[in-house]
Amino acid sequence: MLLYKTTFKLFLLLLSTHANAGLTVLTELSPPYQTIENNEVKGITTEIVQAIFKQAQLTPQFKLYPWARSYKLALNNPNSFIYSIGRTPEREDKFIWLVPVAKFKLGFVKLSSRTDIKINTLEDAKKWIIAAQRNDMATQYLERKGFNKANHLILTTDIQNSWQLLLGGKVDLVVDVKSAVPITAKSIQLPSDHLTYEYAIAELEIEGYLAANKNTSPAIITQVEAAIAVVLQSALYQKAYHQ
């Protein structure tokens, strides 16, 4: 029995070592959660995810793309992980859900100069054109609530494109995290009062997960899950997640 257990553990190790060669972790640019510095993926949520893979003794490639591309790659490629992804009904059966790594409070953002835009209910937002990202949880939520591409939504590849449309006067609103608004203003050298977080969408105060492609090696998943159990107890996780 001891020989069997030893052989089985060695087999799992060999499997994970082989799979690790093509291991990829995907995300999008979403300050302060995911950022890019000197061609390296950084950010407060990235720190949690990196700690998990370090604890698991795995060395994946971290890649940052527009959200629609990262989502498609994670959905279609074994041994791929993605963060921070909302766990929505549309996605539940498409990934292996591992652990929450961020909290989001999403809502509508406008240019402060647009004093004509007043939103007190979700229905009020249907008067305006909204830039939203393809395959994004906020987009899926809005579509469930009756927003559509014909009358309300312009779909973009990532949040940066959505912001460009807003700043260029091509749309009236974007959907983003409240904490990202001042960071975005600073990054494009605008006064902090140039943008206004107009309305919080109550049902989009959710957690963002680290998730895996459903065909990812079981040995890899086992290693990552064991690492998560350790990282969950760390000061890093508690600080970064609640931040």
**Rounded CA gap, 23 and 80, in Å?**
6
DSSP 146: T
Q: CA 133, CA 159: separation in Å to the nearest integer? A: 6
CA geometry: angle at 189 spanning 194 and 35, to 5°?
105
Instruction: Judge whether 200 and 178 are in contact, CB under 8 Å.
Output: yes
Q: Which residues of the chain have pLDDT under 70?
A: 1-21
Q: What pLDDT score was predicted for residue 6?
A: 47
- If you count them, how many residues does the chain have? 243
**Separation CA 61–CA 54 (nearest Å):** 12
Residue whose pair of structure tokens reads 């939520």 in the numeric block: 141
Tokens of 87: 């766990």
Confidence at residue 4, expressed as pLDDT on a 0 to 100 scale: 45
- In the chain, % of residues over pLDDT 70: 91
The confidence score (pLDDT) of residue 10 equals 47
